[in-house]
């Protein structure tokens, strides 16, 4: 049985993306080196920037968290101070990184059902002029909300702060212009909206800020500057590269272009979410977030109040039917999450809704029970 992943990543991928991994590839093969070069160029294009405009793409082996930690631990100097804006588990993960690497830092927290208030960021900067860098999550997949990155970026520009954005689950599925949004470092990974497979993260960097990271990394393998220099010098990774993931990703970028680019993919994901929202509401499910702050990447649904509802059984019965959903990560409510991204289409979402109805009937769960 083919299983579909309704998660924030890893995602369901196309057959042709998987097939791109069938041929073994050496790290010094011309085809591989050329694929890396193409990918670095195309990723900048997707962010509407280029090397000629002063931006660079650095690929880092590992998960998206490796990429975020590479940036956080490399670009914040000993005399710098980082402000981490957190309204969910992934913002808090950056806080942990800052602590482990002993960075000078502050944390500005918002409730996980509230978006970041740019005015509050501005006020915090006025009180703490020592801040040099700001880090924020774009699509906070703890809940599914979208933070107002463009407005936060404008505040960063006004106060001359370096802006680091974790766009892990949104880049490739949301139109983003790094220059217009005043983003200095944008981090995402191979297994999200571009619909590749796990294996690497990437950081899109404003070159002058990347160059400042020379010699100040706190890790050998996560040294962002040295990783970039290696790729620039001979096209090689410093350590064993994720060869097959790279080849799959090149195919995934080709398929993104064939679909019609980010605009077309964003519309498909939005269509998936609309069908999901309507189907779940028809069954009586309530969303955790208010609609105006909800992104189209992933949605958090509150547990039904009916004592017959058991998430583990609910999850397993959907799994048995070929549908993989995601547990919740909320700190103050019980919820589960359903993703709208990856190689899933409106008919797949409709089939998921049918499966959820079947499971609720089997479990004798009354979703609308107060």
Beta bridge partner(s), residue 339:
298
Beta bridge partner(s), residue 61:
200
pLDDT, tens digit (0-9, with 9 covering 90-100), for 299-319 = 999 999 999 999 999 999 999
Q: With a cut of 70, say whether residue 370 has pLDDT above it.
A: no
Q: With a cut of 90, say whether residue 188 has pLDDT above it.
A: yes
Q: With a cut of 80, say whether residue 329 has pLDDT above it.
A: no
Interior CA angle at 87 toward 108 and 90, to 5°? 110
Q: Which DSSP letter does residue 141 get?
A: T
Mean pLDDT value across residues 236-242: 94
Q: Residue 362: exposed, middle, or buried by beta-carbon count in 10 A (0-12, 13-18, 19+)?
A: exposed
Lowest mean pLDDT among 58-72, 97-111, 171-185, 318-332: 318-332
Least Cα distance to 291 among 282, 283, 281 occurs for 281
Q: Is-contact 222 241, C-beta < 8 A?
A: no
> What domains sit in the chain, N to C, each tagged with a CATH number?
15-258 (3.40.640.10), 261-363 (3.90.1150.10)
Mean pLDDT taken over the chain: 96
Least Cα distance to 360 among 304, 300, 319, 322 occurs for 304
pLDDT at 146: 97
Q: Is-contact 163 142, C-beta < 8 A?
A: no
Residue 332's pLDDT band (cuts 50, 70, 90):
confident
Q: With a cut of 90, say whether residue 228 has pLDDT above it.
A: yes
Mean pLDDT value across residues 160-178: 97
Q: Is-contact 327 315, C-beta < 8 A?
A: yes
What does the alpha-carbon distance between residue 224 and residue 200 come to, in Å, rounded to a whole number?
13
Q: Is-contact 186 178, C-beta < 8 A?
A: yes
pLDDT at 2: 85
SS3 269: helix
Q: Is-contact 245 196, C-beta < 8 A?
A: yes
pLDDT at 8: 87
pLDDT at 286: 95
Q: With a cut of 90, say whether residue 6 has pLDDT above it.
A: yes
What does the alpha-carbon distance between residue 291 and residue 310 come to, in Å, rounded to a whole number?
26
pLDDT, tens digit (0-9, with 9 covering 90-100), for 247-276 = 999 999 999 999 999 999 999 999 999 999
Q: With a cut of 80, say whether residue 52 has pLDDT above it.
A: yes
Residue 109's pLDDT band (cuts 50, 70, 90):
very high
Least Cα distance to 314 among 323, 345, 305 occurs for 323
What does the alpha-carbon distance between residue 104 and residue 106 come to, in Å, rounded to a whole number?
7
pLDDT, tens digit (0-9, with 9 covering 90-100), for 8-35 = 889 999 999 999 999 998 888 888 999 9
What does the alpha-carbon distance between residue 48 and residue 62 come to, in Å, rounded to a whole number?
25
User: From the centroid of its chain, how far is CA 259?
Assistant: 20
What does the alpha-carbon distance between residue 118 and residue 154 come to, in Å, rounded to a whole number?
9
9: left (phi over 0), alpha (psi -120 to 50) or beta: left
Helix axes 261-283, 346-363, angle to 10 degrees: 20
What does the alpha-carbon distance between residue 71 and residue 74 come to, in Å, rounded to a whole number?
5
Mean pLDDT value across residues 188-194: 97
Q: How many residues does the chain have?
A: 370
Q: Which DSSP letter does residue 60 get?
A: E
For the chain, what percent of residues have pLDDT higher than 70?
A: 99
User: From the centroid of its chain, how far is CA 66?
Assistant: 12
DSSP percent split of the chain into helix, strand, coil, nearest 5: 40, 15, 40
pLDDT, tens digit (0-9, with 9 covering 90-100), for 113-141 = 999 999 999 999 999 999 999 999 999 99
Residue 144's pLDDT band (cuts 50, 70, 90):
very high
């Amino acid at each position: 049985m083919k299983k579909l992943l309704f998660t924030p990543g890893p995602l369901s991928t196309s057959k042709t993306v998987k097939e791109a991994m069938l041929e073994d590839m050496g790290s010094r093969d011309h085809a591989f080196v050329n694929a890396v070069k193409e990918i670095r160029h195309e990723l900048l294009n997707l962010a509407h920037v280029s090397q000629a405009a002063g931006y660079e793409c650095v690929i880092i082996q590992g998960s998206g968290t490796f990429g975020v930690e590479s940036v956080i631990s490399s670009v914040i100097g000993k005399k710098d101070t980082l402000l981490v804006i957190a309204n969910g588990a992934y913002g808090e993960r950056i806080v942990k990184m800052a602590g482990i690497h002993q960075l000078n830092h502050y944390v500005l927290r918002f409730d996980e059902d509230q978006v970041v208030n740019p005015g509050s960021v501005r006020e915090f900067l006025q009180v703490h002029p020592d801040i040099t860098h700001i880090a924020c999550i774009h699509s906070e997949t703890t809940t599914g909300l979208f933070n107002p990155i463009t407005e936060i970026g404008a505040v960063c520009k006004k106060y001359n702060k370096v802006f680091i954005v974790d766009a892990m689950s949104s880049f490739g599925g949301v139109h983003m212009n790094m220059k217009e949004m005043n983003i200095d470092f944008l981090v995402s990974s191979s297994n999200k909206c571009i619909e590749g497979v796990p294996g690497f993260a990437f950081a899109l960097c404003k070159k002058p800020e990347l160059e400042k990271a020379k010699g100040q990394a706190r890790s050998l393998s996560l040294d962002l500057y040295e990783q970039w220099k290696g790729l620039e010098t001979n096209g090689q990774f410093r350590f064993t590269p994720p060869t097959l993931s790279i080849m799959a990703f090149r195919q995934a970028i080709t398929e993104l272009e064939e679909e019609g680019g980010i605009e077309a993919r964003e519309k498909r994901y939005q269509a998936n979410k609309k069908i999901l929202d309507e189907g779940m509401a028809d069954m009586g499910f309530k969303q955790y977030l208010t609609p105006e702050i909800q992104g189209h990447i992933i949605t958090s649904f509150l547990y039904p109040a009916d004592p017959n509802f058991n998430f583990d059984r609910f999850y397993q019965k959907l799994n048995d039917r070929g549908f993989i959903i995601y547990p919740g990560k909320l700190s103050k409510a019980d919820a589960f999450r359903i993703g709208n991204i990856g190689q899933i289409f409106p008919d797949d979402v409709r089939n998921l809704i049918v499966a959820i109805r079947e499971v609720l009937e089997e479990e004798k769960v009354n979703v609308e029970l107060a």
